[in-house]
Amino acid sequence: MSKKFTCLILAVSLIAAVFTVGGSNAFAAANQVHSFNVNLTSPEPAMPSYVRIFKELEQESGGRLKFDVFFANSLVAITDIPRGIHAGTVDISILPTNNFTSQMPLNSRILQFPFMGLQDSHKSVTILTRLQQEFPEMQKEFDDLNMVNLGNWAFPPYHLQLVKKDKEIRLPSDMRGMKIMSNKIEFQDLFAAAGAAQVQLPPPEVYTSLEKNVIDGFINNFAFQIMFGLTELVNAYTELGAYGGWLDFGCTVINKARYQALPADLRDLITKKFAEKSYMMTDDQLNLAKRVYDAATQRGSLFVKLTDAELGEWKKLTANAHEKGLAEISRNKPVARAVYKRAQELIAETFK
């Protein structure tokens, strides 16, 4: 009898020990801190919403999420973001998709063709998100780079911005002899026809190039000035994108393996947070653009507002760019024309 009792005691003790160890492991896993390095392409004052979102995530996770934020490309250069995310050396990053036309042309080019007719940054984000939901091939571009797209946002419209205000630039031909920074592939014919030089530079090199007269100006959005410290150098503007021209997009991406390794509740927390708050990044960009516009107005900068006829000349010189771009993209991405057609439908529906 005593032998059976002893065996029973040993069995109960063993079970208790197993549950104690299992409980300890479960407790440790539930309270593990998951740390991420975050790469932002702009200085801290330009990205208040990002800072706020990551602080909220840390608090709402009970300290289980931790984010080390690196501003102004101090973690990785813009051109190296996809490589860094894919390799796992960068966990989370802003991804200004217009910079990666070869890696992800469906996401970075088609809706961002010049003069697509986008007129509102927030509504344009909705169009992009719809396209990504309807075309799995667009999602695959993120998968191939080991990325999960947490949410899209938009830059303000693009304009021609110059150092000197000695003459108004109304027609492309007015740029003859000028050197203008623009990384838009679709502008190649426009620059060639205008007799101007299209100079492609990484954004951090624009300041020095303007200061040393290597370039006369650039085509980009107003927020670009604050993000790269160009405000005091620019004195003249030709407003191109204000007429249903075009704008570019960015998104927030996370390394796919790191994202999938998170406990389900933390994945859901991050996904929900960016789904609810990504619009704030668009607001950040619009607020920066307004600051630039207001400051430039106070300084007496030159603003050129085009007539419909003048704008038509710019559109004419980019008319073939859409077809050329689609032909190029379609070689490897046969769905490109379907994406373009659907984009045009959504734009027509949205901006009636």
Q: What is the pLDDT of residue 46?
A: 85
**Residue 248 corresponds to which tokens in the numbers above?**
């570019």
> What confidence tens digit (pLDDT) does each residue in 218-241 have?
999 999 998 889 999 999 999 998
Collapse the DSSP code of 271 into the 3-class scheme (helix H, G, I; strand E, B; otherwise coil) and give the result. Answer: helix
Q: Is the per-residue pLDDT at 8 higher than 80?
A: no
Q: What is the pLDDT of residue 22?
A: 56
Q: What is the pLDDT of residue 230?
A: 94
State the pLDDT confidence band at 26, using cuts at 50, 70 and 90.
low
Q: Is the per-residue pLDDT at 27 higher than 70?
A: no
Q: Is the per-residue pLDDT at 73 higher than 90?
A: no
Q: What is the pLDDT of residue 29?
A: 63
> What confidence tens digit (pLDDT) does each residue in 267-309 have?
999 999 999 999 999 999 999 999 999 999 999 999 999 998 9
Q: Is the per-residue pLDDT at 28 higher than 90?
A: no
Q: What is the pLDDT of residue 202?
A: 86
Residues in CB range of 301: below 8 A, 6 or more apart? 165, 234, 235, 236, 237
What structural domains and CATH numbers belong to the chain? 33-155+247-287 (3.40.190.170), 158-246+298-350 (3.40.190.170)
Q: Could you count the other beta carbons within 10 Å of the beta carbon of residue 62? A: 10
**Cα–Cα separations (whole angstroms), residue 4 to 1, 10, 11, 159:** 5, 10, 11, 88
